[in-house]
Amino acid sequence: MTSIVVRPASGGAVTITGPLAREIARAAGADLWVSGVRGQPGLEARAYAVRSVDGEPAVDGVLARDGDRIVLVTPAGRRTITQPLQALRGMIGARVWLVGPLDGTIASYGVLREP
């Protein structure tokens, strides 16, 4: 079983376990919201969201095609990425985080789960 240790803003350390732990580990340095079930040794993650990266607001979701458009599928719905980076076009099905306006230029991105 994969597990990682995260450091909440309130201090201390929490061990994250479960199938999402590997994805959460790939968001190192990002500010995350994580929800799950307390257990031993820590928290079994059931859901998470990337809130910011390097102090910049971020959004995460799964890349999908909608006709000739690339969209980011989030719990809140499908959001069109008007100027997707070339690298993102080949990652349909991947869960990614994006910094920058989805209706403008994406400043940076990271892959949380491969397609």
Alpha-carbon separation of residue 107 from 4, 20, 41, 54 (angstroms) = 28, 25, 37, 12
| 105 secondary structure, DSSP code | B
- Report the DSSP beta bridge partners of residue 56: 53
C-alpha atoms less than 13 angstroms from C-alpha of 103 in its C-beta half-sphere: 2
pLDDT at 1: 60
User: Could you tell me the residue ranges of all domains in the chain?
Assistant: 3-53, 56-113
| pLDDT at residue 80, as a whole number | 97
Spatial separation of the C-alpha atoms in residues 15 and 4, rounded to whole Å: 6
The string of DSSP codes covering 20-43 is THHHHHTTTTEEEEEEEEE-SSSE
Residues of the chain whose pLDDT is less than 50? none
Proportion of the chain above pLDDT 90, given as a percent: 83
Say which CATH architecture domain 56-113 belongs to.
Beta Barrel (2.40)
